[in-house]
Every structure is written in structure tokens, then in C-alpha cells.
Amino acid sequence: MIAKTLNLLRSDGNPKNNIQTANIKRDTYDLCLPEGRKVNTVGHRTAEDFVRRRLQEVGCVPYRGDSYDLPYEGGGLSFINFAGVVPGKDSSLSPLLIGAHYDSVICAPCADDNGVAVAVCLEVARVLGEAEEPLDRDVIIAIFDAEEPPFFCGPNMGSRRFYHEQLDERGVHFALIHDLIGHDVSLPLGNQDVSVSFLKEALFIMGAESHPQLSTTLAQSDAPKGIKIGATLNRYVGDMSDHGVFRENGVPYLFCSCGMWAHYHQPTDTPDRLNYTKSASIAQLSLQLLETIDKLSLEGSANGEDHSLAYEIASFKKLMGPLLPIVLKKAHISELKTRHDIEQVVSLLMSMTLRH
């Protein structure tokens, strides 16, 4: 069993893609302690030490100066964003960014929200740093503070302070944000979540509409075993996490999430409930996306939403599988063809899994 857990997940034999499930599981357990990581608590300070240490251990160099710490203050409180860099071949290029928040909403483990996403970012950093050939661009590993209420979307939200005050003059070429990526997607039935075999691997991705090349990249990507992508517009669910500030400022981005579940913002969101094989597959997909987008110019603007419609439809058909006729019937449509059809289906799914 241990040997199986330590097996590498590979999609194409590229040594750059040696994601280790065991690393993600270990970091999640080490970060997601019973006291949690709520801002201005002892648990939060313990988490700061963990993030600082792990950024060094995976081989990142500090984004600014000689420290990973990017402190800031607001409302009488002190906060710390963390940012490390996996150096690329050309530091003059605008960098890629992969990020997640490390604070918790309550004094509890909050493993899915959002410890496992931090672990995924760290594992991606490790693999990129150990690759024989670096990417062209630097990759920023951004671990944000203060995403949870009462700071969510406010002036002290970590990702907002990072973008407006801590980002250097190169800006960000592309941002990949993770939140709630550790659980199997299920369907609510009464007060319980019911597992459905062909839906548990779902990974919802928002933001393909932020640049025409992103929907093309996703459509051409080979999703690793263990995940099924459901692409949708960000405006259907809103700025649920740290990608919001990048969207607002016209940075091409993707936001990955498995949506809400029964343990969302509950003490029962513990590390033992998560699917680490799925999280490792998401890390694998993240690597693939960063490697591909590293080579893209991403020039021009989004020019509306129509360019992502075909991919959204294709992804939902594949995701729903045998459930598709039932979903269409419940959404009162006969076939997925138009933006209105997608909106009807997404509205139905949001009522089940994606509402914030």
C-alpha cells in the first residue's frame, strides 16, 4: 500500500511531470492542524513557519529581497503573504503565477479549504525546480493570506494586497489559482452528500474566457487520469477566491475548484476526508498548463465570451456522461447548443455543488 502511494503520477513520461501523491498528502497533514490557521491566532503563526520552511525546501528563491515573507498591515492586524520563485531562463519576461491561500475560516483543520491547494502549489514548485530544463519564464509560487471572511474581497485580502502593493514591475503573464480541490464531487440528497462514480472526478475550471488561447489550451490538454474538467464562465459563480484581482486587472487566469461540499467551512473538513490521488492529478494538470502557457504570447484581449463556448459545451458533455439526459431534462433544455443552454445547466449545478 505504501509503495502504491509513493508511485509517481505521469502523463507523458516527461521527467518534469513527476508529481508525488505522498508529498501532497504529507504537506496537507502537516499544515492542517486541529487549531487551524485563522488570522491572528497561534495556529496562523504555526502555518507561517510551515509555508516559509517548505518554500525553501522545495527550492524556491525569494520573490523579493532575501525573504519569502511579504508582510502588510491593515485594520490593526498584521498579515503575511508568501512568494517564492522557480527561476526560468529569462527573468525579464513577465512571470507565471500559481497560487492558493493558506488561512482558515475557523480554528479547525480546514484541509480542503485550503491546505491541500497549498500542498499542490508546493509540489508543482518542487517538480519545476528539479527539472533539467527550466521554463522560459519565472514561476511565482504565491501563498496568500487573509482570503477568508471577514477579509474576503476586502482591502486586506492577501491576493489583492499582493497585486496592488507587492507585485514587481513585470506583472503577471498568467495566474493559476486553486481553492477547494481535494474532495470528490458529490450530489446533495437531503442532509447528505451522495457519491456518484462518474461525477466524483469533476474539476471545475473558470476563466477560459479571459483569453482566447486559454480555451484552446484546455481543449487540447490531456487531462490526467482521475479528473474530468467542467469548464464554465467565472461570472456564473463570481470571484470565489484569489483569482478575482487578476480578473479585475485583465490578467489571463484560470481558477480550479471542486466546488462546495458538506464539510465546507466546518470542523469536519479534515485531511483524512480528501482524495490525494485526485489532488495529485490536479497538480499534474497544473504543470501541463504552466508548461504550455509559458510558450504563449497571450497578446490581445479576451474579446467577449464566445471563443470559450464550444469548449464549455464539450467539457460538460464529457463530464456528465450518462447523467447528461437527466441534467438536460431538469434544466428544461433538449440539447447543449447555445450560451443560454449552458447557463441553464450551470444554474442547476450551482444549486447542487458550486455556490459560494
Per-residue pLDDT tens for 158-186?
Answer: 999 999 999 999 999 999 999 999 999 98
Give the number of other Cβ atoms within 10 Å of residue 17's Cβ. 19
- Tell me the CB-side half-sphere exposure of residue 226, using CA atoms within 13 A: 20
Q: What is the pLDDT of residue 14?
A: 54
Contact 74, 120 (CB under 8 A): no
Range list of β-strands (E), the chain:
8-9, 19-20, 61-62, 69-74, 77-86, 96-101, 139-144, 174-178, 186-189, 192-195, 202-206, 228-232, 253-257
Q: What is the pLDDT of residue 305?
A: 79
- Under the banding of pLDDT at 50, 70 and 90, the label for residue 121 is very high
Ramachandran assignment for 146, one of left (phi > 0), alpha (psi -120 to 50 degrees), beta (any other): left
Encode pLDDT of 237-279 as tens digits: 899 999 999 999 999 999 999 998 889 999 999 999 999 999 9
The shares of helix, strand and coil residues in the chain, as percent rounded to the nearest 5, are: 40, 20, 40
* Domains observed in the chain: 2-319 (3.40.630.10)
Place of cell 511579504: 70
Grid coordinates of 68: 519569502
Contact 73, 79 (CB under 8 A): yes
154 has pLDDT over 80? yes
337 has pLDDT over 70? yes
Mean pLDDT of the 67-79 span: 97
Tell me the β-bridge partners of 177. 99, 255
Between strands 96-101 and 8-9, the pairing is unpaired
Mean pLDDT of the 142-164 span: 98
Encode pLDDT of 275-321 as tens digits: 999 999 999 999 999 999 999 999 877 767 788 999 999 998 988 88
Task: Report which of 229, 228, 273 is spatially closest to residue 111, judged by C-alpha positions.
Answer: 273
Q: Tell me the three state secondary structure of residue 163.
A: helix
Cα gap 48→42, rounded to integer Å: 10
Encode pLDDT of 220-229 as tens digits: 988 899 899 9
Highest mean pLDDT among 39-53, 227-241, 322-336: 39-53
Q: What percent of the chain has pLDDT over 90?
A: 76
Nearest 10 degrees: Cα torsion 103, 107, 108, 109: 30
Encode pLDDT of 2-43 as tens digits: 333 333 333 344 545 689 999 999 999 999 999 999 999 999
Q: What is the pLDDT of residue 10?
A: 38
Q: What is the pLDDT of residue 212?
A: 92
96 has pLDDT over 90? yes
Give the number of other Cβ atoms within 10 Å of residue 325's Cβ. 10
Mean pLDDT of the 105-134 span: 97
